[in-house]
Amino acid sequence: MTIEAKLEEMNLTLPPPPPQGGVYQSMLLVDGHAYFSGHVPLLPDGSMMTGRVGEEVDLEGAQAAARQVGLCILATAKDKLGSLDRIKRVVKLLGMVNCSPDFTQHPQVINGCSEFYRDLWGPDLGVGVRSAVGVGSLPGNVSVEIEGAFLVD
């Protein structure tokens, strides 16, 4: 089954590729590695999932934001690569949570993206290395930002 058929089966629709928010490329392909800029949880209507986790946003809301970032990265991948089936594996994610200083559940938040990728590509190819940390603030007060690298054909 193609990855896009699998997305459909999961009742997920790719949002439009995120618009440019600065002087960067959203994805760059170098020697079979697709590097992704830090992506934010953009919704199809153009709004962003915002708010500080642990204060304005609870764990479940933060996980939903992380999963939405995962979808936005795929939207960029589809736009830049032509097909999601060119993706061979997830190599690396850096998950940054906009949270209060006493927040401690960063891995659980970023699991929102990681579990989605695991379900999409399986527990080997869909799961790479990862760091999950709490940053002091994020652009536009979004709740989660994730950058990553995939291997592609």
Which region, judged by CB under 8 A, interacts with a copy of itself, from 3-11, 19-27, 57-65, 67-75?
19-27
Residue 105 binds a copy of itself, judged by CB under 8 A: yes
Interaction between residue 80 and a copy of itself (CB under 8 A): no
Contact region with a copy of itself (CB under 8 A), list: 1-9, 10-18, 57-65, 102-110 = 102-110
101 contributes a contact to a copy of itself by CB under 8 A: yes
Amino acid at position 85, single letter = D
What backbone phi and psi angles, to 5 degrees, belong to 138?
-135, 155
Query: Quick one: CA dihedral 126, 129, 132, 135, positive or negative?
Result: negative
Range 7-12, long-range pairs (CB < 8 A, 24+ positions): 7/74, 7/84, 7/120, 10/119, 10/120, 12/71
Site string for a copy of itself, 106-125 (x = CB under 8 A): xxx-xx--xx--x-------
CA distances from 37 to 2, 25, 27, 95 (A): 25, 7, 6, 12
Among positions 1, 45, 82, 137, the unique one binding a copy of itself when judged by CB under 8 A: 137
CA distance 64 to 58: 10
List residues near a copy of itself by CB under 8 A: 21-28, 30, 35-38, 52, 91-94, 96, 99-108, 110-111, 114-115, 118, 127-141, 145, 147, 151
